[in-house]
Amino acid sequence: MKYLSALLLINLFFFSSWLNAEGQNIPPARDKYQLLTMPYNQRQLTLYRGQLQAKAGYKFAVRAQSFNADGDLVYLKNNGTGSVYHYYFINLRYGLTNFIEMGAETNFLRRGIREATITVVSTTLTSTDRVTVNKLTESKGHGDIFLYTTVRLPIRYKWFDFGATGGLFLPSAKYEPQKPANTITSASLSSADTYTINLHYNNTNGYGVPVYLVSAVSKCSFRKFSAEAEWAMRTPMKEGKNIRWEETLTEKAFSYYDESYSYLLSNIYTFDVSLHYQATGWFNINLNGSFFRTKGGWTEYWGNKYENPEKRLINLEPGFELQISPSLTIYQVAGFPLSGKNSDAPFYVFTTVSFNMFPFMR
């Protein structure tokens, strides 16, 4: 009897642990999983309070064409001067409140631009000598660190949002070009005057001076559709100083010296408009139109200041946003140049992975 009662008590204990107590349950306004999985059409422009986002991206661009000063398309691949462009970036953002966020960003790029090969022929009665000149301008290195703050309307996002960003590119990158790595290779064993000169210039990445950025963005949603428009401007804080390498070729040996010059960066204006469709909670497709323009600025050559040529480019960018898990999202866009002026016109694919979390929220 005693044992049976004990058995019963043990059973009751386990049964009670299986019972779910149902009562009045007031769910929290939004838990972190809801916030992390918020679809684009319901998401505000800045991060949520306490949200940390780390992004890493890679852009692969094929520079097979460019727009000249008249806005005509020049097919670079036809004269063998096409090239590719590798661009990597990392971005870290943190939501201080539901309407203020801070962020930092930097990048790394690598590209090599070839110019058309030129051969100079020298014909005498006894021989024909050829000097071929190849020119490659390589740009490689880390970009400046960009620090910024974004504020948005202090209301809960329903169908309209507006935000503004202010930031500064700190001139943290090595911006002075490195010494050229020119070489000479003999193309003919029979003639000492037939050879190839390979000019190889080594540029870096970075503005060299602090650059301000201001931008304004607005977004509105209607059911599964959303539209977003962003205007941004970059302007230098001051004039900068840089060096330019010059070379002298004597007896098939190069000697180099550098000359200092001053410059003022051009202002850069961008305007993006995107239309989004939220196909499901985890998949958003979009079509973005991007306008880029530079204006002003100058560069010093031989003591004279020459105005920088104005550049323009309009791109069309279809893309998508795919939520893989609450913390992981992938973005991908492909860029197609439509028109421009004094600008490269690359086709590109830009892939970004975003990791999101609330480090201080249970």
Residue ranges in contact with other proteins by CB under 8 A = 1, 4-5, 7-8, 11-12, 15, 18, 60, 62, 64, 76-84, 112, 114-123, 132, 134, 136, 138, 198, 324-325, 328, 330, 349
Q: Which of 79, 82, 80 is nearest to 65 (CA)?
A: 82
* CB of 111 or CB of 152, closer to other proteins: 111
How many residues does this entry show for the chain?
362
**DSSP one-letter string for 28-84:** -S--HHHHHT--GGG--SSPPTT-EEEEEEEEEEEE-EEE-TTS-EEEGGGGT--EE
Compute the distance between CA of residue 271 and CA of residue 215 in angstroms, rounded to an integer. 10
Compute the distance between CA of residue 137 and CA of residue 120 in angstroms, rounded to an integer. 21
* CB of 60 or CB of 298, closer to other proteins: 60
* CB of 98 or CB of 203, closer to other proteins: 203
Q: How far is the CB of 85 from other proteins (least distance, A)?
A: 9
Q: Quote the tokens at residue 118.
A: 């030129």
Q: How far is the CB of 130 from other proteins (least distance, A)?
A: 8
Residue entry with tokens 């991206």: 57
* CB of 78 or CB of 262, closer to other proteins: 78
Q: How far is the CB of 276 from other proteins (least distance, A)?
A: 20
Q: How far is the CB of 79 from other proteins (least distance, A)?
A: 4
* CB of 198 or CB of 339, closer to other proteins: 198
Q: How far is the CB of 42 from other proteins (least distance, A)?
A: 20
Compute the distance between CA of residue 359 and CA of residue 362 in angstroms, rounded to an integer. 8
Q: How far is the CB of 132 from other proteins (least distance, A)?
A: 8
Q: Quote the tokens at residue 278.
A: 């939220």
Half-sphere exposure of 213 (CA within 13 A, CB side): 23
Burial of 260 per CB tally in 10 Å (0-12, 13-18, 19+): exposed
* CB of 69 or CB of 324, closer to other proteins: 324
